[in-house]
Each structure stands twice: as C-alpha cells, then as structure tokens.
Amino acid sequence: MTKPRLFSGMQPSADSLHAGNYIGALLQWKQLQRDYDAVFSVVDLHAITVPQDPATLREKTRRTAAQYIAAGIDPSASTLYVQSHVPAHAQLAWVLNTITGMGEASRMTQFKDKTAKQGADSASVGLFTYPILQAADVLLYDAEIVPVGEDQRQHIELTRDLGQRFNTRFGETFVIPEVSILKETAKVYDLQNPGSKMSKSGETENGILWLLDEPSRLVKKIKSAVTDNDGSIHYDPVGKPGVSNLLTLLSVLGGTSVESLEHEFAGRGYGDLKGAVADAVVAEFGPVRERALELLADPAELDRVLAVNADRANEIAEATLARVYDRVGF
C-alpha cells in the first residue's frame, strides 16, 4: 500500500534551529515520516525574499539540512532536499503567479505583518509572492497533507484555491492538499521574554535555546530564565508565562503531562524546576548537536546525501511540471 504524500519545509535562516523549531516542527516530522511518504525541504528560495549574504546562506542551508538529519529525519526513508536543487519550484511558481489575482495576493496577512514596521514599498516582490512559491512547493509533490502551524493556514487555503482553479481551467492536474493544522503542537516562548514566542529573530540571545548550543550554554540560559515572584509551580500561560514555558519544555521533552509535573513540583522551588528542564533539554539536544557536528565535519558526504535526495525530488517534481506545461500549452 502506498502511503499518502506529505510536504513540509523550513527556511535556512539561522546557523542553528531553536527549541521552537525542534518541538513545533522537527519532532512532529519525525513522527509523521513513519505514516507518510514525507518530503522535507530546506527552502532556500524562500530565504532570499529578504536580503542574504551568499556565503552565509550556503552555510545555513547545509547546517539546516544537517540538523534535520541529526534530529531524526531519515534521508533514506523520507525525501530531504534543498529547494534550489529542484528548478521546478520556480517554474511552477511562475505559472501559478499568472493565475493569482492581485487582490487575492494582497490579502495575505503574513506579508502585511512582515512589512508592518518598514512598510510594503521597501519589501521585495518576492516577499509579496512568497505564498505562491509555497503553493508550488506543495502542489509539485502531489502532497495530500501539509503539517503547518495556525499562522500558515491562509497560505494553505491559497494553495488549495490555486490548485482547484488550475484544475478547473486546464483540466485535472493537481492533488488538492488538506489543511492540516498542528493544533496539539506546543508553542515555546522566549526564556527572557516569555510573552513572545521563541524565534530566531528574537531580541535576547539568552532567551533562545539553540539546538547547536553547547550543553553548558543551554544550562546557563535555562537557569537564568525569567519567572515570577509568586513561587508556586503551576501552569498558567497568562499569569505565569515563564513558569508555564518551563513546564511545556519539560513536558514535551520528558514525555510527562503538565498535570503530573504540577503534582511532582508542588511545594518545590523554581530552581528545582529549572534543573529538571536543563537536564531534559541537554539530554535531548546534546546527541542531536553531536550528530549534526559530525555530519557537518564531512561536507562531501552530506552533499552526496542531499544530491541523491534532490534526484528523488526532481523525479516527482519534473513529472508534475510536465503535466502543467502540457496543460498550459508549452
């Protein structure tokens, strides 16, 4: 029996992924790759929608791929490739651009959010059409499911609309994906600023747990996490965001429910909780970091794995693109 196809990806936009990416994406992917024919991309075409230094981008792309593998994405079971190694992404995006309305594209709230500060006029057209490239990513692989966070719902709706529109106008061509929102996925917050989500663009370096941080650094950051003066350990994301964030981390990484952690830590101090979180994070990230560094120490082998996977991705993507080109009259 063939498994349904799944597509997901992340941008190579930092040297290291962080605890949010690990919990919100990589851990999910690792589970999903068993039940799906999974395609995971390092989406470097998306990364250049904002200015990038070429040498740094190349390095971040490699490091991101290494972290996918180190975290448990199996490049012989799943397809794990770099987006720019598959020309059909850009080719299909162009075709989809021509069936997307200006008004429709202008309604994408993520573009509005991303340009809220500096204004839309200084953004690139690429950033504006980013969701159309994202639609091409998904439709190229006949993906049935696209596991994403709530913030991506509108983009997946657009993907469905464009796929359906093309099918109606040119004949059945694309598989229309389901919107598959990862509701149960825990959100991780900045340790120094627990009102905002942990993000690579976060403002405090000590608030972010990088997957490639040295263990001692992880411990230091967790020990200095912002909490509150109330002194009791219970889950209350609004009233006690710092403590709740620590409970979430310990719950997800230790495989214990938040409820039983509240019991376990009743009457104990924040120092105890931080110690337990530090142990859990180091136990989880330590081996991932070591494996990633091993992979990065042998760039030729990593490039070979990525090339084999790009071949597999190209085979699927080229077949879809050939259908599309034929339909539109090329």
Residue from 11, 100, 134, 227 touching ligand ADP (CB under 6 A): that is 11
In whole angstroms, the minimum distance from the beta carbon of 67 to ligand ADP comes to 12
Structure tokens at 235: 């889950």
Instruction: State residue 2 phi and psi, 5-degree precision.
Output: -80, 140
Scanning 144-203, the segments in alpha helix (DSSP H) are 153-170
Return the closest-CA partner of residue 281 out of 208, 234, 222: 222
Which of these segments, 21-29, 39-47, 112-120, 171-179, binds ligand ADP (CB under 6 A)?
A: 21-29
Q: Furthest-apart CA pair in the chain: how many Å?
A: 71
Tell me whether residue 194 is annotated as binding: no
What are the Cα distances from residue 30, in Å, to 16, 18, 192, 231? 18, 16, 29, 36
Residue nearest to ligand ADP (CB): 24
114 an active-site residue? yes
Among positions 153, 197, 234, 291, the unique one binding ligand ADP when judged by CB under 6 A: 197
Restricting to residues 137-176, name those near ligand ADP by CB under 6 A: 149
* Count of residues that interact with ligand ADP, criterion CB under 6 A: 15
**Per-residue x/- track, 170-189, ligand ADP (CB under 6 A):** -----------------xx-
- 8 forms beta bridges with 40
Q: Does the annotation flag 33 for ligand binding?
A: no
Q: Which residues in 42-71 contact ligand ADP (CB under 6 A)? A: none
Which of 30, 114, 187, 223 is catalytic? The answer is 114
Is residue 223 a contact residue for ligand ADP (CB under 6 A)? no
- Token pair for residue 198? 């942990």
Whether 200 sits among the annotated catalytic residues: the reply is yes
Part in contact with ligand ADP (CB under 6 A); list of ranges 48-56, 71-79, 193-201, 270-278: 193-201
For ligand ADP, the closer of residues 166 and 189 by Cβ is: 189
Long-range contacts of 93-98 (CB under 8 A, 24+ apart): 93/129, 93/132, 93/133, 93/135, 93/136, 95/166, 95/324, 95/328, 96/132, 96/135, 96/136, 96/139, 96/162, 96/166, 97/129, 97/132
Separation of CA 251 from chain center: 21
Nearest distance, CB of residue 171 and ligand ADP, angstroms: 33
Q: Interface with ligand ADP includes 244 (CB under 6 A)?
A: no
List Cα–Cα distances, 36 to 78, 143, 146, 187, 293, in angstroms. Answer: 9, 10, 11, 24, 28
Which residues lie closer than 8 Å to 306 by C-beta, 6 or more apart?
65, 75, 80, 81, 82, 85
Residue 199 binds to ligand ADP (criterion: CB under 6 A) = yes
Look at phi and psi of residue 329 and say left if phi exceeds 0, alpha if psi is from -120 to 50, else beta: left
Helix axes 270-296, 215-223, angle to 10 degrees: 150
Known catalytic residue at 197: yes
11 is in an annotated binding site: yes
CB count within 10 Å of CB 205 equals 9
Asked whether position 25 contacts ligand ADP by CB under 6 A, the answer is yes
Nearer to ligand ADP, 11 or 320 (CB): 11
10 touching ligand ADP, by CB under 6 A: yes
Enumerate the known binding-site residues for ATP.
Answer: 11-13, 20-21, 149-151, 188, 197-201
Contacting positions for ligand ADP (CB under 6 A): 10-11, 20-21, 23-25, 149, 187-188, 197-201
Enumerate the known binding-site residues.
Answer: 11-13, 20-21, 137, 149-151, 188, 197-201
Enumerate the known binding-site residues for L-tryptophan.
Answer: 137
Q: Catalytic site residues?
A: 114, 197, 200
